Structure 1
């Protein structure tokens, strides 16, 4: 692993004073990974390998500005869902690896205990999902999206260790989306259907069970990353609507606004990355400059940080 010798400013300040810096690299470059924040650290897991999904599990400590190895995933995983709630980190679904082949999509789920430093098996989802989002809302986990439109959202209750299924409107379950939570509502962004990437912005209220539409993204995209900072959703990169270009743009939106605004663009194009908020800064981790089959061959190990004034 590499220890950063000091942050390098990679992009000019945005209108709100934000700018990009580079910090420590992952132990191994990879796209299709997942990250979460827990206990003051960022945890990064899995991702695409050259022959099979990877099982790396690392944590980033901002005090040391470096990544540290953690107990590996029980199986290599890519394009899976990961979320933290309570004292545990949950990893579900995705494409999984065994000793001889890639098998997936998977329905299995595991949880990681920080205190015990161990992964344990949890109840499997009602059906397999891959290339979907897993988010935590008021202690419940919501699995939204996936490779095909199965018109369903899976909900896990950690207290009972049981899953339930909610019906979703047509087109909600699509692959390559990003999801973010603001004021208890889940925003499902972008993604792709059989016709290509879409600019959709769907909003789910778990309290009422209702779905509404938010302002569309400025162009279809899939494989994007999203995170919330200061009441705004920030969206990063992905693949363009025709699948022919990896995007470098950085957008943001807040409830009440009618459209998305441009922010300081990423230092380089990325798709299949993930993002996390830690101590007011946005960390963009992993990803690749090419999608699909090319993801493992164009994987990025860089961790870029968007710092500056709050939104």
Structure 2
């Protein structure tokens, strides 16, 4: 019989087993074993496009130590239906502090930080203005209209057909102070060629995270000239107006370099303390919905399926990480109104 055996099990083991069963039931099957990233990396770009997970660039060296060897320009993808190995693709300029987005079968990258000093030399970091689009069929990058100025430590999202670049700063080399960006940039991907339009921001922040639901862009966390900022700012692209949402829970420093994505029409944010929060449908408060197995900052968060998110890469404990973690998210009946 099963029950007498269960009763003799240690309580901790039993609890773990029950949680495993519940998790498997929620997602319908056991989660696959995902291969590690090609290299332990933080502050990189990641997106999902037509069944593939793409990763680009990032920082693979010691914390706050940047040079032409520790920052990457490599580009890889992983087929999610058969996640056995990473496929190397044509790369590009070395860059960190950037992100990737996808739109209609293409992958986009915008900006990033590029060191120009060799290892052992004084830091000489520059923010890039370039934008490019990758065609998976042709396996080629195409240059796009550049940003008005270099930008890094920003985030980029697609809201319907609009490419949105928010936050960040401009690094101008060892001889100049950085400039904090005070405008969000928007380009209509239906236009050829497109033009960047600026929308003033009610903040100056970098190392933030952004996600789009409908025509609204949610910008959360990050670092201002005065320190970590747990605030949530919301840009209504239809009206070109900003509003405030609830601050992230927890300590202010936990809001530095978070990761964000949208799952089932709801905003999910992972802080550098490893806690995952969901913005409630009314948009007035957060609820805790998960806990990562390790703390990470400057990581990436992507939807895995309807029941889970994927947290990958990042830095923590004095080192970069190459692991990918699937984190179950409990269901909630109603999505954020803008996603309907």
**So what's the TM-score if we normalise by structure 1?**
0.84
CA contact (8 A) 1:283 1:304 kept: yes
1:168 is aligned to 200
In structure 2, stretches of 5+ residues that fail to align are 1-15, 62-68, 170-178, 333-340
Deviates more, 1:55-64 or 1:114-123: 55-64
Residues 1:304 and 2:309 aligned together: no
Deviations 1:237-296 (A, max 9, x none): 23xxxxxxxx12111113304211112210000001011113323111100105xxx6xx
- TM-aligned CA distance change 1:227 to 1:52, over 3 Å: same
- TM-aligned CA distance change 1:257 to 1:156, over 3 Å: closer
Distance in 1 (CA, whole Å) between partners of 2:158 and 2:289 is 26
- For residue 58 of structure 2, give the secondary structure of its aligned residue in structure 1: coil
Distance in 1 (CA, whole Å) between partners of 2:214 and 2:130 is 29
CA contact (8 A) 1:95 1:104 kept: yes
- Equivalent of residue 262 in structure 2, options 225, 228, 231: 228
Deviations 1:104-132 (A, max 9, x none): 21111111001101112211101111000
CA contact (8 A) 2:270 2:277 kept: yes
2:225 is aligned to 194
Distance in 2 (CA, whole Å) between partners of 1:10 and 1:69 is 35
Q: CA RMSD in A?
A: 2.7
- Equivalent of residue 266 in structure 1, options 292, 300, 303: 292
Distance in 2 (CA, whole Å) between partners of 1:120 and 1:257 is 38
In structure 1, stretches of 5+ residues that fail to align are 1-8, 239-246
Residues 1:90 and 2:108 aligned together: yes
- CA shift, 1:307, in A, is 3.2
CA contact (8 A) 1:35 1:82 kept: yes
The one of the two structures with greater contact order (alpha-carbon pairs below 8 A, sep at least 6) is 1
- CA shift, 1:308, in A, is 5.8
- For residue 212 of structure 2, give the secondary structure of its aligned residue in structure 1: strand
- For residue 77 of structure 1, give the secondary structure of its aligned residue in structure 2: coil
1:52 is aligned to 70
- Structure having the higher helix fraction is 2
**So what's the TM-score if we normalise by structure 2?**
0.77
Residues 1:39 and 2:50 aligned together: yes
- CA shift, 1:36, in A, is 0.7
Number of equivalent positions = 287
* Pairing of 1:7-156 with structure 2 (within 5 A): 23-50=34-61, 51-96=69-114, 103-147=125-169, 148-156=179-187
CA contact (8 A) 1:93 1:129 kept: yes
Distance in 2 (CA, whole Å) between partners of 1:260 and 1:196 is 22
CA contact (8 A) 1:96 1:105 kept: yes
